[in-house]
Structure 1
């Protein structure tokens, strides 16, 4: 990294692709992203929001972050210079230029190293070709990682979009359950009132029957009491001739007992 760039490399990396910023843009929330990364993220999301803090972006085309772009370009230039210097690094064992790359041990070697016992039977290629092959391999790996990242971004966006419908469905179901129980409570209340009313009606009906029976019983008791009194007087106080003269009427009255207990059976 160049000495002119004092920030840590992670501060110069895009949160989406995790690589050094390319044409960085700045959102109102102060987060920066590669222009293409941000656009790709917005293409997979229903809302234009920050991928980090989810704050809505007010502008469709955010402004370029020129200061950050300059720092990233300085970092890239430093890497290029380091790479150029690395091509002139000498072998620590033989003092020769590292012109070859050992495909077995995955490290640069000099001609003397290739002839040594350590790398004698190993396949080696020129460093220029090895560098290109390594870049191609890393490019494939990076493409796989980027595709996976894009899939996760889309999955996250889809999941976030489904949160609101799930909440709305739960609220609607809750409302329906409450409405059903309100109807059930009303039904039970009406059923209770109807049964209590029927019970009250049955009670009044039975009380009316009992009162009628009491009235009839009282009338029967009065009639029998008078009859007993008359017969007793005839038997004890009347002359024999008077008894005989009144016997027919007296016996007929005695035989007419009025309503008895058997007349009230079946009324309870």
Structure 2
């Protein structure tokens, strides 16, 4: 939190949404609310009252609480700065910022690591570029998995229709085989779906440094894409 913010965080929270004030306005009773929160409250009430003390408000558009707005903006800025500082992971060996990404070992390293024997002859790139490349590769992997999912789904549909039409005489036996195939294919589709979800979460939800640190495991997970149409072809 910024040093300019001395009030407890609860004193900077709107009584309606319980979140940090956004564009706060001040009522004559001295209570403040987010401008949108107050307007929504008034939209559901026949009277323009304070949501806390029920005192009538004389103005349809109450004035902005600029002092409170400045405090809340300082708080939000402090959160952003704290988050940025928290994301600066240091090298466990040298205590330096992890500014580079080793393309050989697929891991973030510091400048000291790059100069050491372990990474001296390895190609390294800035972590910002590596993070962007990782995201692009993850997007391509996600697209490939989705394409495989669609292909598997279409194969299952076509195969089911063809087999049901051709195997009427041995209905019980063949339906048993078909159910086994459907179960196996469904398990494969579920695996692909879960893989896409995990990769998407790791790609969009993680910070750049976390993405880089888990990149090798993410790629290995993506390569295990489960059964495909070729696993079913030739099944009698």
How does the TM-score come out when normalised to structure 2? 0.40
Bigger-Rg structure (1/2): 1
Mind listing any 5+ residue stretches in structure 2 that lack a counterpart?
none
**What do the CA deviations read for 1:107-129 (whole angstroms, capped 9, x no partner)?**
99999999999999999999999
Summarize the Cα distance change of 1:53–1:198 in structure 2 as closer, same or farther, 3 Å threshold.
Answer: farther
Structure 1 unaligned regions, length at least 5: 135-166
Q: 8 Å contact 2:50–2:57 — kept in the other structure? A: yes
Change (3 A) 1:45 1:119: farther
Equivalent pairs counted in the alignment come to 236
Q: Is the Cα contact below 8 Å between 2:152 and 2:228 reproduced in 1? A: no
Matches within 5 A, 1:63-78: 63-78=63-78
| Whole-angstrom distance in 1 between the partners of 2:43 and 2:163 | 66
Change (3 A) 1:49 1:182: farther
RMSD: 45.9
User: Which stretch shows the higher mean deviation, 38-47 or 116-125?
Assistant: 116-125
Post-superposition offset of 1:47: 1.1
Q: Tell whether the 8 Å contact from 1:227 to 1:253 is kept in structure 2 after alignment.
A: yes
**Cα distance in 2 between the residues matched to 1:221 and 1:105:** 32
> For residue 10 of structure 1, what is the aligned residue in structure 2?
10
- Distance change (3 Å), C-alpha of 1:121 and 1:67: farther
Higher helix share: 1
Residue of structure 1 equivalent to 2:40: 40
> Cα gap change, 1:38/1:233 in structure 2, threshold over 3 Å: closer, same or farther?
closer
> Which stretch of the first structure deviates more once superposed, 35-44 or 85-94?
85-94
Bigger relative contact order (CA 8 A; separation at least 6): 2
4-13 or 241-250: which moved more? 241-250
Distance 1:245 1:99 in 2: 12
- Distance in 2 (CA, whole Å) between partners of 1:248 and 1:58 is 62
Query: Secondary structure at 2:170's aligned position in 1?
Result: helix
Contact conserved, 1:87 with 1:98, CA < 8 A, in 2? no
TM-score (norm 1): 0.36
CA distance in 2, matches of 1:109, 1:32: 49
